[in-house]
Amino acid sequence: MLKAKKLSRAILVGHKNLLDQVVEILHDLNCVHIEDFTEENDMFSIGKPAEVASAASNKLIKLRSLSNFLGIKPKYSDNLLNEESVLTHFDANLDELDSAVSALLDKRIVLENESKSIETNIKDLLPLSLFPLSVEMYLGYRSLSVRAGYIQGNQTDIEKELKGVTTKCDISFALYNKAQFMILFVPVEHINTIAEILDKYHFAEHHISELTGNPGKLLAGFNNRRDDIQAELKSIEEGIIGLQSRYSDFVLASDEILSITTQKAEAPLRFATSESTFIIDCWIPDDQFEHASKVIEERFNHLVYFTELDINKEKIKVETIPVEYDNPKSVKPLETIMDLYSRPVYNEIDPSAIIFITFPLFYGIMLGDIGYGFVLLTLGLIGKAKIKSEGLKPLATLLIYCSISTLIFGILFAEIFGFHLFGHHSIVTELFGEHSAMGEIFYNFHALPIIERLGKEDIPIILLATALIGTLHLNLGFILGFRNEAISHGIVKAVLAKLSWIVLQFGIAIIILSALGYIPVIGNTLGAIVAVIGVVMLIAGEGGAGILELPSIVSNTLSYTRLAAVGLSSVGIAFAVNEIVTGMLFPQGGLFILLGILVLIVGHTVNTVLGVVAPGLHALRLQYVEFFTKFYHGGGRKFNPFGYTRKYTEEK
């Protein structure tokens, strides 16, 4: 807790003949983080991948393209397949799947092409179906030109003008899709003059397909075929879904097996090798070194040399050491929040355990409502039971933590969905009547709320209390910063850069206390002196830029009043919804009661959604912006052990 897992740098040296076996064992151990070998020189070069690598990756590519076509998504599976049986049937299964997919794919392409050409034909035929001629009548003349298309303007004018050129022309009009469609038969020699006239009337040529027969009948035929194609395409989609459900286990399992095979086969690309030896440079958690070295010893009996290096002697930069969190299980979900910001560096404080307390605390202070607390708790529990994805599960657990804190503060604020629980406006009293046994208990119980969030008198108290919480939180940050600074830059720098802030605050506190009359007036001068000492220390530690940072102490502290402000806005919305419903809608009776219930449900749903998002974001921000900036740098590398966590298969 509070620190990353202790790691050691280790090296493995052995004869190249043993490389494959060593890779197998390291992969099974799943506890070493391999450092890639990059500096090639005369002595060492990068290792060559095992022979199976290229075959396995080819299969993997084929498998993944099929899986992509079928739309197979990673899922949670209880049913683990046996690796050996998957491998025995792999080629047969893959070929079968491949041919099934290609057959469907080919058929789909043919149908889609046909569908496209039918669509074009239908588009061509639709206006022609308004005329009595067969389609072949429009095409294939030598001395006659046929023009079909949309034209704008008065029919008689157009006709008159065209007949003016030659009387040997035939013109027909029809109205299609609110536009004027015209077909014109005219001798070829007049075509140029005619074209000019047509241009004047904005003539748009319509394509005529080379078909034979009555347009109406053709259309009916095409429409039928189109419906057939749609049905066939649908059956292909069903076929794909069928293949997907039939082969999804196989695809996921073999993807896993092939990934493991390629991972192992390509591992030598990360090692340094000479003509007959290999060197593996890696990181291993201290608590696992003994076990790993025992396994290697038993297996190779001194033929492979495995040893730890002293980090201090090696002068390794801390930023390059991979970082593995070392937190109890309950704190694990908070690591997601840490990773969202940046992983701590190896020797830095890992604040997961601190935000395990402060994040839900801030969340609870902001939302603080029994009703919303229960809603969130239910959502969190459902999420935890239903969500199988490793990425999202921690968020469900986090929601549970936050909902518990919300419940606790809900009890302290005695709020339930924005209604008062006790006293004058108690919802229970209003529901059961002031003089009922139940109503009286809630009416007369005055121990709660500790703070009434919408009460005029209590609001300044909440503001002050939240600013105070902020001061505590910030100073915790300064203390942690002091520790980090002392380790990385020495105690003097730590005192000047971090302790100075605490001294400064101490000075300000003395001034405030004396101004309020809690300590004698002399405190004023004393406080000023202490504050000035703080500022001088800060300038000595951080340089002139430190002065620019000074106002941040006020703005950061005030920033914590958001704990009150966001909380008030959430109560405010709930209160407003309740007022609208109980004050305005319900008293009118009848339909308004139904409307009131609707407003109540919609209003509180919206507020619950806001209640998850707003306090979540603000609680997060207070950690990231106000707290972390006081001590945290981050930028650590993730400890990524060489190995594979199987999800769909088990070893032979």
Partner 1 sequence: MVDINLAEASVEQILANQRGIIAIGAGLAVGLSGIASALAEKDIGAAAVGAMAEREELFGKGLILTVIPETIVIFGLVVAILLLFL
Residues that bind partner 1 (CB under 8 A): 339-342, 456, 459-460, 463, 555, 558-559, 561-562, 564-565, 568-569, 617-618, 620-621, 624-625
Residue whose tokens read 């347009």: 215
* 202 φψ region: left (φ > 0), alpha (ψ -120 to 50), beta (else): left
Q: How far is the CB of 399 from partner 1 (least distance, A)?
A: 18
Residues 6+ apart with CB under 8 A from 271: 19, 34, 37, 46, 47, 278, 279, 280, 281
Q: How far is the CB of 344 from partner 1 (least distance, A)?
A: 13
Nearer CB in complex with partner 1: 435/456: 456
Q: How far is the CB of 441 from partner 1 (least distance, A)?
A: 30
Nearer CB in complex with partner 1: 428/619: 619
Structure-token pair, residue 161: 């003008």
CA 30/CA 597 separation, integer angstroms: 57
Nearer CB in complex with partner 1: 443/560: 560
Q: How far is the CB of 565 from partner 1 (least distance, A)?
A: 4
Instruction: With H, G, I as helix, E, B as strand and everything else as coil, classify residue 77.
Output: coil
Nearer CB in complex with partner 1: 397/623: 623
Nearer CB in complex with partner 1: 322/507: 322
CA 244/CA 231 separation, integer angstroms: 20
Q: Are 321 and 283 in contact (CB under 8 A)?
A: yes
Q: Are 170 and 159 in contact (CB under 8 A)?
A: no
Q: How far is the CB of 417 from partner 1 (least distance, A)?
A: 23
CA 406/CA 616 separation, integer angstroms: 12
CA 33/CA 252 separation, integer angstroms: 26
Nearer CB in complex with partner 1: 288/569: 569
Nearer CB in complex with partner 1: 516/521: 516
DSSP secondary structure code for residue 318 in this structure: G
Nearer CB in complex with partner 1: 8/552: 552
Question: 145-173 burial, b if ≥16 CB within 10 A, otherwise e?
Answer: bbbbbbbeeeeeebeeebeebeeebeeeb
Q: How far is the CB of 621 from partner 1 (least distance, A)?
A: 5
Nearer CB in complex with partner 1: 329/456: 456
Q: How far is the CB of 610 from partner 1 (least distance, A)?
A: 15
Q: How far is the CB of 619 from partner 1 (least distance, A)?
A: 11
* 283 φψ region: left (φ > 0), alpha (ψ -120 to 50), beta (else): beta
Q: How far is the CB of 485 from partner 1 (least distance, A)?
A: 22
Residues 6+ apart with CB under 8 A from 89: none
Structure-token pair, residue 589: 């009776």
Nearer CB in complex with partner 1: 492/512: 512
Q: How far is the CB of 454 from partner 1 (least distance, A)?
A: 10
Q: How far is the CB of 625 from partner 1 (least distance, A)?
A: 6
Nearer CB in complex with partner 1: 114/339: 339
CA 264/CA 14 separation, integer angstroms: 17
Q: How far is the CB of 620 from partner 1 (least distance, A)?
A: 7
Structure-token pair, residue 329: 């299980």
Integer-rounded Cα radius of gyration of the chain: 39
Residues 6+ apart with CB under 8 A from 633: 344, 345, 348, 484
Nearer CB in complex with partner 1: 432/624: 624
Distance of CA 154 to the CA centre of its chain: 61
The CA-based dihedral angle spanning residues 278, 266, 250, 645, taken in that order and rounded to the nearest 10 degrees? 60
Structure-token pair, residue 597: 């219930």
Count, in order, helices (H) and strands (E) of the chain. Answer: 23, 16
